[in-house]
């Protein structure tokens, strides 16, 4: 049996909020399934019943040996976003199934790894890794993929009535342009931030996603103007990702950040100006990482080791800076974590999502 592929979401944990503190209630997935807890001989059938209901699936390996797969789906107003990882499979959607389930959404797929070939009556296409690829559930198709992890954004056709002809012309094409790559970063960052988003933010999220899709798939002066703040935000997320990946590097400076992401110093300063500047943001990220480590009861490193690992080599200066940021001493966070106090929020297990088939979720999109 093939190993379950890893989801390769970008390491971005702050997408819509600089402080990362969001009020309740938070968005919850509307559909989750993992076959890991089932007997090996039952895993593929369970996957077909829950996530393959709008496709005919055939496992490329012996399904009786096991089929480790997982799927999480969020309903975002008229959109649905799914995060999936599954072993190699052959798939098919024919006209009879299209008539039966009446689902005709566009799908923007972002493959995280592996190979996926799709065939229609007119063409054969390969979905490139890391690039958005568009296909339609209104058309018959078949194909096969290797062990793979991917994101799917399901887009109802009624959402873009004026752009439908242009979007249909982009079917079975990868969006490898600069705008397409911005869309891929947006989807990856969105997937990572969803567990921390609130229901109150959903209308803004829907508007942002709609503008981003329109601007990146069918660019025009109007759609580019509507999505200009989102494109700027995507550039900011690229810079944030580079910072997160290099937090522990003692040479992480604004000058090095410019080289890492290929932006000029003036562009970087403009992006981070609302947050007090690049240097202040880097320090805030390092303090946040230190806070997370101190609040982790399983982390047994000394406070000074955690601080030095993140570039704070003066213990007194670290304590003062930390207290200005969080209103408490590093030692107080560590003590609360070790005692199990509720004063310092610790990790919480995700809420159990309601059980349902993915097809039922897709039928609600309008």
Enumerate domains of the chain plus CATH numbers.
73-237 (2.60.120.10), 248-339 (1.10.10.60)
Q: How far apart are CA 45 and CA 42, in angstroms?
A: 6
Kindly tell me the sign of the dihedral angle through the C-alpha atoms of 326, 331, 332, 335.
positive
Position 24 scores a pLDDT of 60
Position 49 scores a pLDDT of 86
- 262-284 burial, b at 16+ Cβ within 10 Å, e below that, comes to ebeeeebeebbeeeeebeebbbb
Position 71 scores a pLDDT of 93
Q: Which of the residues in the chain have pLDDT under 70?
A: 1-24, 52, 219-234, 237, 340-356, 366
Question: Hey, how many other C-beta atoms are within 10 angstroms of the C-beta on 144?
Answer: 16
Find out whether 185 and 193 touch, Cβ atoms under 8 Å.
Answer: no
Position 110 scores a pLDDT of 95
Query: What would the pLDDT profile of 326-345 be if each residue is shown by its tens digit?
Result: 888 999 888 888 876 544 43
């Amino acid at each position: 049996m093939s190993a379950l592929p890893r989801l390769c979401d970008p390491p971005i944990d702050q997408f819509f909020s600089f402080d990362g503190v969001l009020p309740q209630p938070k968005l919850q997935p509307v559909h989750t399934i993992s076959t890991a807890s089932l007997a090996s001989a039952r895993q593929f059938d369970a996957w077909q019943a829950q996530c393959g209901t709008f496709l005919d699936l055939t496992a490329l390996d012996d399904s009786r040996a096991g089929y480790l797969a997982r799927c999480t789906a969020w309903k975002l107003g008229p959109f649905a976003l799914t995060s999936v990882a599954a072993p190699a499979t052959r798939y098919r959607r024919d006209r009879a199934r299209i008539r039966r389930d009446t689902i005709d959404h566009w799908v923007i797929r972002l493959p995280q790894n592996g190979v996926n070939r799709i065939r229609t009556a007119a063409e054969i296409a390969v979905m490139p890794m890391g690039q958005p690829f568009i296909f339609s559930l209104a058309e018959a198709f078949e194909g096969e993929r290797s062990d793979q992890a991917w994101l799917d954004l399901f887009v109802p056709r009624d959402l873009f009535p004026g752009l439908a002809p242009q979007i249909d012309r982009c079917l079975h094409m990868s969006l490898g342009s600069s705008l397409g790559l911005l869309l891929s970063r947006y989807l990856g960052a969105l997937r990572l931030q969803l567990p921390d988003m609130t229901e109150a933010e959903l209308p803004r999220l829907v508007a942002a996603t709609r503008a981003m899709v329109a601007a990146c798939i069918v660019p025009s002066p109007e759609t580019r103007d509507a999505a200009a703040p989102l494109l700027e935000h995507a550039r900011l997320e690229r810079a944030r990702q580079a910072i997160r990946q290099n937090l522990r590097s003692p040479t992480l400076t604004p000058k090095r950040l410019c080289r890492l992401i290929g932006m000029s110093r003036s562009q970087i300063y403009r992006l981070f100006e609302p947050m007090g500047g690049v240097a202040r943001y880097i320090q805030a990220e390092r303090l946040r990482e230190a806070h997370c480590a101190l609040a982790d009861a399983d982390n047994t490193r000394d406070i000074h080791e955690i601080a030095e690992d993140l570039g704070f080599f003066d213990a007194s200066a670290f304590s003062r800076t930390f207290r200005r940021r969080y209103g408490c001493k590093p030692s107080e966070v560590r003590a609360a974590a070790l005692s199990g106090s509720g004063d310092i929020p610790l990790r919480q297990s995700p809420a159990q999502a309601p059980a349902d088939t993915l097809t039922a979720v897709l039928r609600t999109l309008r």
